[in-house]
Amino acid sequence: MLHNKTTQQTSKSSEQNLLRRVLRVTCAAALTSVMLPLFIFNAVLSIATFRAPLKKQKWLDIGGEVVELYVWQAGVFKSSAMLFNITAGDIHFVGTPIIWGETTVPNVRRFKSPCAKAGVFDCLQLHSLTGLVAGDIPSLLASQNEQGAVKDLAMVLKILFCRCVYKDGGEKTAQSAVFGIPFDNANMEDAVNWVCASHTEANYCQVGYFLNANSINLAAKQQELRAVLTQSNKNFVDGSGMRLAARHAGINLADNINGTDMLPVLCRKAVETGGSFFLLGAKDDIAQKAGDALETQFPGLDIRGTHHGYFKDDNDIIEKINNSGATILLVALGSPRQEVWLAKNRHRLNCRCALAVGGLLDFFSGSIPRAPLWMRELGLEWIWRLMQEPKAKFSRYVIGNPVFLFRVYVLKQSIRGL
């Protein structure tokens, strides 16, 4: 029985590989035909300048393997000569990531990919374009290696789309500002390390917020919220809208830091460092359900307490949080209430760090499903949120998103401030 199952899997894998090979060669041949006039122009120009039309350049893939690729010696779109490598099977359209740029083996993160060949496109490119943090590198590449030809084609199309929409804005600096509000241009690991740090240098709770299109729209109308955002310890940039704004302001963003993607990484780090949580916000039982689900998903995680967001007396809530001994507080009261509440009470809280996390508890309690990965890869999670809660999110997305884009491209507030 096991032998038959293994044979079937091997047969299926062989069929997939054959289909991918046929699709690769067909697409490469078609693109070569389309670009033939350009190829002829480059070849003639090279010969006219007494050079061979093609030369090989050496690159490294993410595992440190040498990859030799053709480039034109003269003309335009010189890297288009890679189509010859793809047709010959030297590389694939989708495969092991190639390190594009000057590098040496010691500086490359060593990874022995299960993919047989390097590829022009890969899942790490896709995720870096939108700043998505959705798994570790080995797992992502292993999943990519198992996907079929159709998913390969879909990945290429998604990367081309994201390159057009979310291309680099320019300089990548550790700290910068958009709309006159400072933010920390961090990767996910650094952001989580900051949340879990001891913060012994401060005698009050450190506060972090997530800047998104909605919070910018609210801050433009509410001076109190704007003041709160500018006085936080950390602001992290969240969402495709903010990525567009940063690009327009000439800023190249690192990871997309949002609470929902951060929490799994944060939970694993908290287990390692002995951190503990208090979950505040959402409707009755949502925080409790989210806490139970997280403790199940991350063995050893310490949830010290939970409470819904429909409270009137701050004193009782703060006392409960402080008595719990939690080191990290997640506040899900919705904007701008959560940001203003934290700014008002941060000096009364004994926890080391607090984050304003919006609807995060709804996701992890299971009451609202997370957007499919393909939507998150394209930066379109807001469409999923609108589909899940059309009435509640109509103003935020259907009205708010065009207003936000107007602020970015017409009023240019992302550059000169609100």
Is 159 within a domain? no
User: Are 293 and 196 found together in one domain?
Assistant: yes
Query: What burial class does residue 108 get, using C-beta atoms within 10 Å of its C-beta: 0-12 exposed, 13-18 middle, 19+ buried?
Result: middle
d(CA 186, CA 171): 14
pLDDT in tens, 119-136: 999 999 999 999 999 888
Residue 208, classed as helix, strand or coil, is strand
Q: Are 303 and 295 in contact, with CB atoms under 8 Å apart?
A: yes
Paired tokens of 157: 């199309």
User: Are 187 and 268 found together in one domain?
Assistant: yes
User: Are 105 and 201 found together in one domain?
Assistant: no
Q: How many CA atoms lie within 13 A of 271 on its CB side?
A: 13
Is 129 within a domain? no
Is 148 within a domain? no
Number of domains in the chain: 2
Beta bridge partners of 236: 210
pLDDT greater than 70 at residue 111: no
pLDDT in tens, 404-417: 999 999 999 998 88
Given 121, 143, 166, the domain boundary residue is 121
pLDDT greater than 60 at residue 279: yes
pTM score, whole prediction: 0.86
Name the band, by pLDDT with cuts 50, 70 and 90, for residue 139.
confident
User: Are 223 and 336 found together in one domain?
Assistant: yes
Tell whether the torsion through CA atoms of 129, 133, 138 and 140 is positive or negative: negative
User: Are 216 and 354 found together in one domain?
Assistant: yes
> Cα separations (Å) of 72 from 35, 52, 81, 102?
13, 9, 6, 19
pLDDT greater than 60 at residue 322: yes
Name the DSSP class of 319. Answer: H
pLDDT in tens, 174-206: 568 999 999 999 999 999 999 999 887 778 899
Given 121, 139, 155, the domain boundary residue is 121
User: Are 115 and 235 found together in one domain?
Assistant: no
For residue 7, the enclosing domain spans 2-121
Residue 149, classed as helix, strand or coil, is helix
Cis before 336? omega within 30: yes
Paired tokens of 348: 């009364």
Is 153 within a domain? no
Q: Are 209 and 275 in contact, with CB atoms under 8 Å apart?
A: no
User: Are 90 and 196 found together in one domain?
Assistant: no
Q: Which amino acid is at 8?
A: Q
Is 62 within a domain? yes
Is 18 within a domain? yes
Alpha-carbon radius of gyration of the chain: 25
Average pLDDT over residues 44-64: 90
User: Are 340 and 205 found together in one domain?
Assistant: yes
Is 344 within a domain? yes
Given 121, 148, 167, the domain boundary residue is 121
pLDDT > 70 in the chain, percent: 91
pLDDT > 90 in the chain, percent: 71
d(CA 234, CA 355): 9
Tell whether the torsion through CA atoms of 226, 343, 280 and 377 is positive or negative: positive
User: Are 83 and 225 found together in one domain?
Assistant: no
User: Are 117 and 179 found together in one domain?
Assistant: no
User: Are 214 and 335 found together in one domain?
Assistant: yes
d(CA 395, CA 32): 48
Is 190 within a domain? yes
Q: Which of 14-23, 51-60, 369-378 has the lowest mean pLDDT?
A: 14-23
User: Are 99 and 184 found together in one domain?
Assistant: no
d(CA 102, CA 60): 9
